[in-house]
Amino acid sequence: MIELRSVSKWYGEVIGLNDVTVSIGPGVTALLGMNGAGKSTLMKLVTGQLQPTTGEVTVFGEAPFANPTVYRRLGYCPEVDQFYEQMTGREFVRHLARLAGYPAAEATERTNRVIAAVGMSDRADKRLAGFSKGMRQRIKLAQAMVHDPDAILLDEPLNGLDPVARREFIELLAGLAAQGKTVLVSSHILFEVEQMTRSILLLNRGRLLAAGDLSTIREILDKYPHRVRIESPQPRQLAEWAVGRSHLLSIRIDEDRDRLDLEIREPDAFYRELSDAIRSGEVSITAFHSPDNNLESIFHYLVQA
């Protein structure tokens, strides 16, 4: 649904986005990156707020800039709050539904439906000026959904939400993805992103460093050492076994805690050998953990590289 082909965006001499090519289809895709990585620039290019300096952006096969045909099928939840503060939450969402062209009765029905979906039915009739950050985030999502768009872009939507609200928000996005919608979520909260989706885009200094499924990206990173922590009632015996493995790069024994910290290459091959050794009784372990098999580790490896 969304495609960027060799897209760059310059702000004078500052690079916002640098030669990015990517396709984004149905499902939830997380857009990751540090501050200044280019996430907001990419969002604004896709939503038609900016034109690329070079390259081509298409949404539903058309250029989004100043294109009402594309806007009718897009939902957008910006990071920055811009509300009519004197309105209630319900009035605000209904007003935007009317601006989208819906008759009064249908605008009201759609408003009530999406406000219920974001869990705001009991609070939507209060004035926006008195809303908390979390309540504002929910109303922003409601207005992005009110016209039932095919693609929804959410810029840092988890900011200001408590843990329960974040879980509800993630479940709501999963429901949208299950309907075949394209959901692009910009976030820096890596733990929540990992619960939300396996599909990521990672930007750094305007460049696209990685795109795709987390497991696929991790496989590409196997040239970097994998850290593994193994707990065992016989740490020295386990260390003797590990030293004989061709995949081992380094090892540290912590006998006080009955554990080993290893750095290995070709982790899948090492894990197979470890499994065989456990089954044969050659070694005994009580716990196993790899701190590198998570999104935060992948993020830091790519950005530091």
Superfamily of domain 2-212: P-loop containing nucleotide triphosphate hydrolases (3.40.50.300)
3-class SS string, 25-73: CCEEEEEECCCCCCHHHHHHHHCCCCCCCEEEEEECCECCCCCHHHHCC
CB burial string 151-184: b at 16+ within 10 A, e below? bbbbbbbbebbeeebbeebbebbeebbeeebbbb
pLDDT value of residue 168: 86
Instruction: Identify the residue with better confidence: 265 or 86.
Output: 86
pLDDT value of residue 222: 64
Mean pLDDT of 283-303: 77
Mean pLDDT of 2-27: 94
Mean pLDDT of 13-34: 92
Among 121-130, 177-186, 266-275, name the one with the lowest average pLDDT. 266-275
Mean pLDDT of 230-234: 91
Per-residue pLDDT of 185-203, as tens digits, reads 998 777 777 788 889 898 9
For the chain, how many residues are written?
305
Mean pLDDT of 106-132: 94
Question: Half-sphere exposure of residue 131, counting CA atoms within 13 Å on the CB side?
Answer: 30
CATH number listed for the domain at residues 224-304: 3.30.70.100
Question: Mean pLDDT score of the chain, rounded to an integer?
Answer: 89
| Domain locations along the chain | 2-212, 224-304
Per-residue pLDDT of 41-73, as tens digits, reads 999 999 999 999 999 999 999 999 999 999 999
* Rounded CA Rg of the chain: 24
